[in-house]
Copies of this chain bind each other. A is one copy, B any other.
Amino acid sequence: MKKGERRKQALLKIAYGLFISRGYENTSVDDIIEAAGIAKGTYYYHFESKEQTLEEVIGMMIDQEAEAARQVLRSDAPVPLKIAGIIASLRPGQEELPIEGALMKPENALMHAKIKRRLLETVLPLLSEAVEEGIAQGIFACDNIPERVRMLLVICNEIFDEGQFTQRDVEVFIDITEKLLGAKPGTMDFVRALIR
């Protein structure tokens, strides 16, 4: 809203881009201020520390993804589509900064780990809610919902976070999703079409 807020948002985007492309540890504060065209002092006027900047960058990402996930949840789409939609909303920065395979690089291990943790905390309840909706509608049938959803999310994070996956991965994922949630075979088949 305020002028200072806009500035800070812009700085966050710049930091995000650098962190993603070179890794958090390999990005110096000097890199950030040079990219942003601001002075050292200005950076530290807006951010407590580099570490705090990373936290805020991740917070910004998570907020966006959580918001997207919430919209999907609120929509009146069929539940299986909601599930797929929420999971799809997790692809980090698909529009704004399409960096291929960045998170998987070892220099991004720290950032990836932090994002993973925050994402689980944030998205797990949303996805669980969708699953419960599906159970209420008789589409799914399972217990221990949060544990099952967590495993689903873990698989997404580790297998699909990059373009590295194959068609076979998708097949298995569809299969395991249906079985994890106790859905009828074919319930998630439409996913196949969503992934080009």
A contact residues, total (Cβ < 8 Å): 28
Counting chain B CB atoms within 10 Å of each CB, the highest count among A148, A150, A155, A172 belongs to A172
Query: Is residue A163 within 8 Å, beta carbon to beta carbon, of the partner chain?
Result: no
Q: Report chain B residues within 8 Å CB of A172.
A: 144, 147-148, 151, 180
Known: A113-B109, A113-B112. A171 touches B144 (CB 8 A): yes
Q: Report chain B residues within 8 Å CB of A106.
A: 110, 113-114
Query: Is residue A67 within 8 Å, beta carbon to beta carbon, of the partner chain?
Result: no
Chain B nearest CB from A154 CB (Å) reads 4
Partner of A25 from the list B25, B148, B151 (CB cut-off 8 Å) is B25
Q: What 6 pairs across the A-B complex have the smallest Cβ distances? A: A109-B113, A109-B109, A179-B179, A109-B110, A154-B158, A147-B172
Query: Is residue A166 within 8 Å, beta carbon to beta carbon, of the partner chain?
Result: yes
Query: Is residue A168 within 8 Å, beta carbon to beta carbon, of the partner chain?
Result: yes
- CA gap between A180 and B150 in the complex, in Å: 16
Number of copies: 4
Partner of A159 from the list B109, B110, B154, B175 (CB cut-off 8 Å) is B154
Chain B nearest CB from A162 CB (Å) reads 12
Query: Is residue A31 within 8 Å, beta carbon to beta carbon, of the partner chain?
Result: no
Q: Report chain B residues within 8 Å CB of A180.
A: 172, 175-176, 179
Interface string of A119-159 (1 = CB under 8 A from B): 00000000000000000000000001001101100110111
Query: Is residue A189 within 8 Å, beta carbon to beta carbon, of the partner chain?
Result: no
24 contacts between A and B (CB under 8 A): A25-B25, A106-B110, A107-B110, A109-B110, A109-B113, A109-B114, A112-B113, A113-B113, A144-B168, A144-B171, A147-B169, A147-B171, A147-B172, A150-B159, A151-B155, A151-B159, A151-B172, A151-B173, A151-B176, A154-B155, A154-B158, A154-B159, A172-B180, A179-B180
